[in-house]
Structure 1
C-alpha cells in the first residue's frame, strides 16, 4: 500500500489549485527527502495561481508549489555524500542548476536555473525531494518558520542590493513597496550601510513597519513632493540606489525621477508591463541605469544563514502568521488581498 501525503498542487493546464492527496515521494540518486516543517507563501505563488506568471521550463501537468522551504532530512537516496544524515535541520535553495546548458557543462554559473515549486515539485507538501547540493544546514536556534523565508523573501533583495545594485555604504538608497521583499530590503540596506534609507509605500501600516525596521524616512507615493522630500533628505543628491519590489510601471517612473547622477534602479518585483522612461534625455544626461534582477545565487542564502546565526539579522518579524497546509488557498487569498499587511505567511504541514 502506497503512503500518501497532502500537497498544494497547481494544474498547469486548467490553472486550478487544490490541496490534494498524493503519493509520498522516494529519493532517487543524489536526493534526500525532507519532512517539511515550514513553507512560505510568496507573491510569485499568487501570480502562478492567477495565471499572470507562467512556468517556462517544466514538462509537468501539475506541480507542487512552494520555493521557500525548511524542514528535517527524513530519508536519503543513493549517492548522497556521507555528511548528510537523517534528522538534520535544513532549508532548501529555491532552485537548482539545470545540468544541461553549456554553462553547466563548463561548471560555470547556470543560466537556465530550475525553480523549485515552479519547474519541479516544491515545498507546499508534507514531504519534499531535494538534490543534496541544494541543502543548507540550519543552526539549532533559527526557527523553521523564519528559516523558510530566507530563500527568496530575504535572499532576493540581498542579491539585488549587494550584487546587481552594488550598494555603497553611506550612500542613499530607496525601496518602493514594503511587502515581503521590500520589508527585508529595508533591513538589509541598513545592514549593508546604505544611508539614508527611504521607504515608499501607499499603506500607512507598511510605512510604519519600514520605520520600525530601520528606514530613515517613509513616504506615501501619492505625496506630490516625493522627489523633493528625497532630495531634501539626501542633501540634494538623490538616490544612489532604488529598488522596485512592486513590479509596477508607476513605481519605476517615480523611482527613476528620484535617482541622482549615476543612480541605479533595480527591478526586483516581477511584472508583465513594458519598461519605460518618460524623460529619456534626463535619464541619459544623468547617466542612470535600470537593471533587471531575478532571484539569488546559493552563496547569498549561505551568507544570510551566517548573518542570522551570528544574530546580525533578525527575522523574528518576518512571519506574519502561520496556517496549516490544508488552508493554503486561504493563505493565498489573504496575501492577494493584503489582509493584515503581511510580510510572509507560512504554511506548516
Structure 2
C-alpha cells in the first residue's frame, strides 16, 4: 500500500509502498477515507518536533484519520464490525506508566498517532479498538477526520484548560487551522465578546464569518487599546499561532486575573517583558496540549446533531500520492488553509 513516511535519520519525508498491516489482538484495520494535514506534521518533517516513544527508524504520519473498519483482530468486542464508519482518536494510553497500571488518572506518557506509532497518511491504518469513535451516517469522512485534533484541541483549550465562560470576553491570536475552530467553539459556549487577531485580512474576515465579534490586525499599533476598549480586558487569550511576539501581545490585552493559554507549539522560549505587571494583576500562563477523554466523541455528536458546522473547515482535498506537495502548500499557507485533507 501507499504511505507517507517520515524517516528520522537523516530526516526525510517520502511517499512509498509499504506492506499492508495486519491487526493484532484488540486492534482493527481501517481503510482510510480521509486524513488531515496539520502544522504538527510540518514541525515533525522539519525537525521542530521529534517522536518521544517511537521504537522504529521511521513512521507513517497522520493523526487526524477517518475511514471504514476493514478487518478485525482477535478479541475485538462488539459492537465493532467490518464496514463501520469511524474516526480515530489522535493518541492512546501507554499502558505502562503508574496511572495506566493502576487505572488512575490520565496517562503520563500518552502515545500520539502518526508520531509515536504509525498514523493515517496511508491506504490502511491500524487502531486499538479503544480509540474508535463511531460516526453518524451523514457526517462526511473529511469533516470527521479533522475532529481529533483541529477541533478537539481548541475545544479542550476553550472548555478545559482555559475555562471559557458565557458572557465573558475571550481573544484568539491566529485564525488558522486551530484558531478558526477556537472562534467557532467560543461562540458555541457563549463567550462574549470574541476578539480575533491575525495579520492576514482573509483570516480576519474568516474569523468574523465563524462568529468573532471583532477582528483586529496584530500589526496595528492601536491593537491593545482597541481590545481593551471593546472588552475591558480579556478574561482569556488563546495563542493558536505558537509565536513569541503573539504571546507578548496577548498578555498586554488581559484584564485582572486574565489567562493566556498556549495552544500553538513552538520551541522558542517564553518571555514576559512586563512580568511585574503580570504578577500584580494576578494573571496566569497555562500550557495546553490535545484534549480530554470523551472530547472527540462529544464533538462528533455535536457535528452529527448539526450544532457544529465543519463544512467550511475543509480547504481542499488531495490524493495521498501528493502528500509532499500538500505539506509545501501548508508551509506557504497557500489559500489561507484551515485544513487540507488527504484522500488515499
TM range (shorter): over 0.9
Match of 1:74 in 2: 70
CA contact (8 A) 1:32 1:76 kept: yes
SS of 2:14's equivalent in the other structure is strand
Question: Is residue 181 from structure 1 mapped to residue 191 from structure 2 by the alignment?
Answer: no
Equivalent in 118, 128, 135 of residue 125 of structure 2: 128
Partner of 2:178: helix, strand, or coil? Answer: helix
- The equivalent position to 2:341 in structure 1, one of 337, 340, 346, is 346
**Residues 93 and 298 of structure 1 are in contact (CA less than 8 Å); yes or no, is this contact kept in structure 2?**
no
CA distance in 2 between partners of 1:287 and 1:174 (Å):
18
Query: How is 1:2-151 mapped onto 2 (pairs within 5 angstroms)?
Result: 5-108=1-104, 109-151=106-148
2-side partners of 1:323 and 1:82: how far apart? Answer: 34
- Which of 324, 327, 332 aligns to 1:329? It is 324
What residue is the counterpart of 1:250 in the other structure? 245
- Measured in 2, the distance between the counterparts of 1:36 and 1:297 equals 24
Aligned to 1:317: 312
Deviation string for 1:192-243 (max 9, x for gaps)?
A: 1100000000110000000011100001111001111111111xx2000100
Q: Tell me the CA shift for residue 82 of structure 1.
A: 2.0
Distance between the aligned counterparts of 2:200 and 2:56, measured in 1? 39
What secondary structure does 1:186 align onto? helix
Gaps of 5+ in 1: none
TM-score with structure 1 length normalisation? 0.98
Distance (whole Å) between structure 2 residues aligned to residue 189 and residue 277 of structure 1:
26
Question: Distance between the aligned counterparts of 1:297 and 1:83, measured in 2?
Answer: 23
Determine the C-alpha separation between the residues in 2 that align with 1:78 and 1:261: 56
| 3-state SS, counterpart of residue 120 of structure 2 | coil
| SS class of match (1:180) | coil
Q: 2 CA distance for matches of 1:305 and 1:151?
A: 9
Task: Tell me whether 1:162 sits opposite 2:159 in the alignment.
Answer: yes
Q: How many pairs are equivalent?
A: 343
Residues 120-172 of structure 1: per-residue CA shift (max 9 Å, x gap): 00000000000000000000000000000000100000000100001111000
Give the match's secondary structure for 1:298.
coil
Residue 297 of structure 1: how far off its partner (Å): 2.0
Structure-1 separation of matches of 2:181 and 2:102: 34
Question: How many angstroms does 1:282 deviate by?
Answer: 0.6
Moved over 6 A (4+): none
User: Would you say 1:259 and 2:250 are equivalent positions?
Assistant: no
Query: 2 CA distance for matches of 1:14 and 1:159?
Result: 35
Q: Distance in 2 between matches of 1:83 and 1:52?
A: 40
